[in-house]
Amino acid sequence: MTLTGAAALLILILTYAGVAIGRIPGLRLDRAGIALLGGAAMIAIGALSMEDAYRAINVDTITLLLGMMIVVAHLKVSGAFRGLGAIAIEHAHAPFMLLVMVTLLTGVLSAFLVNDAICLVMAPIVVHVTRVINRNPIPYLIATATASNCGSVATITGNPQNMVIGALSGISYPAFSAALAPVALFGLVAVIVIVRIVYRAEFTRNGELTPHISRGRMHRGQVLKAVVVCIGLAIAFFAGVPVAKAALIGGAILLLTRAIKPSRIYREIDGPLLFMFAGLFVVVAGAEKTLLTPDMIASAKNIGLDDVWRLSGFTAVLSNIMSNVPAVLALRPFIPGLENPERAWLVVAMSSTLAGNFTLLGSVANLIVAEQSKAAGTPLSFGAFFKVGLPLTLITLLAGTGWLAFGG
C-alpha cells in the first residue's frame, strides 16, 4: 500500500468513526464538520484533485434533498401539517384507533416527504394529544418513529439514503415504489400489531377519547398552493421526470409568496445534512480511488453479497454501526459489480432503512422523536423503544428480504 493509500484509509476510518459517534472528543465538530474535514483531508493528501472532488459530489442527490426540504418547510410553516394531523387524530375515538391514525398518517407522509421532517412535525402533536386525553405517550411516540422509518421505505423521496440510491442506481421512481411499497405497507401493519402487543395495558384501558388539537394560524392560500405543488410533484415523479429537477422546481414555486417570509423557510432547511453528504461523497471517492482495486471490488461476490439474504443482513449490521447514509455510500463501489445491481440497490435501500428501527440510536428520526419527548417531560428510554424495535426490525427485514428474494 502506498503512503497516500495508507493516509486515505486512516482518513476513511476516522471520518466514519466520527460520523458514527456524532462528535470528536475534545472538539466541537458535529457530523457535518467531521465529513467536511474528512473530504478536505482527502484533497490535502492528494487522493483527489479539486476537480475530482467536485465530480465526486452527486449534485442530483444534494439538489433533490434541498428541493424536498423547501417543500416540507413550506408545508410546515403554512400550517398544512398541523391541520392534517388535527383532522386525522380528532377522528380517533379509542386508544387503538389513535395508534392506527398516528401510524398511518406518519407512514404515508414519510413515504413521499423526508421522514425526519415528518417526525419533527408529528412528535409534538402526539405529545400534546396524549397529554390532553391523559394517555401514556410512549407507545404512540414509538409508533411515530418506527412508522416514519417503515413508511419511508416506499419511495426515493422517503429518506436521505433512498435519495442517494435513486441517484446512484438510476432506478426510476415508479420501479422503486413498485418494488418497495408493499414492504412499507407490511411494516406499518407490523408497527400497529407489535406496539399493540407490547403496550397492551395502554390499549386495554379503553375509554372514549375526544382529542383536540389547536390548529394555530393557517395560511389557507399557501396550504392550497403547497397541496397543488405536492400533487404535481407526485405526478411528475411517477411520470418519469427526473426527481431532482421536479423537486427543485416545486420548491422554487413555493418560494413565490407574499404571505411567508423566505427566512422562515430557510430556517427549516437542514444545511448541515447537505454539508455532510458533500463531505462523505468526497471521502468515499478518495478511498475508492486510492484503495479499491478491481480485485477488491470483485471480492464482493466472493463474500456472498450477490445473495439477497446475506446482502440484507450485512447492510443492516453496517447501518447500525455507522448509520444508514454512510453505510450506503460505503457499499456504493461494490454494488455495480454484482449479478443484479438493481435488485441489490433495492435490498440496500430496504435494509438500511428498516435497520433504523432496531434501537433508539438507529436513525435520525428516532432521535428526533426522543428529543421531542424529552423536551415535553416524557423521556423515551432506550429499553422502552427496544421492546418494539427488536421484533419489528427482525420481522420486517425477514419479510422485506423474502419479498425481494422471491421476485418482488
Would you state the pLDDT for residue 391? 96
Half-sphere exposure (CA, 13 Å, Cβ side) for 241? Answer: 15
Task: Provide CB contacts within 8 A for 341, sequence distance 6+.
Answer: 169, 335
Main-chain phi, psi angles of 154, to 5 degrees: -65, -30
Q: Which residue do the cell numbers 407507545 mark?
A: 139
| Contact call for residues 152 and 122 (beta carbons, < 8 A) | no
Percent helix, percent strand, percent coil in the chain, to nearest 5: 75, 0, 25
> In 22-172, where does DSSP find H-type helix?
31-44, 50-56, 59-78, 80-89, 95-112, 115-132, 138-152, 160-169
Task: Provide CB contacts within 8 A for 228, sequence distance 6+.
Answer: none
For residue 350, give the amino acid letter: M
Would you state the pLDDT for residue 398? 96
pLDDT (tens digit per residue) in 175-194: 999 999 999 999 999 999 99
For residue 181, give the amino acid letter: A
Task: Provide CB contacts within 8 A for 10, sequence distance 6+.
Answer: none
Q: Given pLDDT bands bounded at 50, 70 and 90, which one contains residue 301?
A: low
Cell output for 241? 421526470
pLDDT (tens digit per residue) in 220-238: 788 888 889 999 999 999 9
Would you state the pLDDT for residue 362? 83
| Contact call for residues 145 and 194 (beta carbons, < 8 A) | no
Out of 62-76, 91-105, 142-156, 392-406, pick the least confident.
Answer: 91-105
Q: Given pLDDT bands bounded at 50, 70 and 90, which one contains residue 263?
A: confident
| Contact call for residues 389 and 359 (beta carbons, < 8 A) | yes
Q: Is the pLDDT of residue 60 over 60?
A: yes
Q: What secondary structure letter does DSSP report for 138? A: H
CA distance 366 to 347: 22
Q: Is the dihedral of CA 89, 93, 94, 96 positive or negative?
A: negative
| Contact call for residues 58 and 168 (beta carbons, < 8 A) | yes
CA distance 135 to 204: 12
> What's the whole-model pTM score?
0.85
pLDDT (tens digit per residue) in 116-150: 888 888 888 888 888 877 788 899 999 999 999 99
Q: Given pLDDT bands bounded at 50, 70 and 90, which one contains residue 213?
A: low
Q: Given pLDDT bands bounded at 50, 70 and 90, which one contains residue 297?
A: low
CA distance 306 to 405: 11
Cell output for 116? 425526519
What average pLDDT does the segment 348-377 reach? 88
| Contact call for residues 147 and 357 (beta carbons, < 8 A) | no
For residue 196, give the amino acid letter: R
Would you state the pLDDT for residue 320? 87
Q: End-to-end CA distance of the chain: give it in Å, rounded.
A: 42
Cell output for 255? 418560494
CA distance 388 to 380: 12
Q: Is the pLDDT of residue 344 over 70?
A: yes
Q: Is the pLDDT of residue 44 over 90?
A: yes
Task: Provide CB contacts within 8 A for 149, sequence distance 6+.
Answer: 110, 115, 159, 187, 353, 354, 356, 357, 363, 365, 366
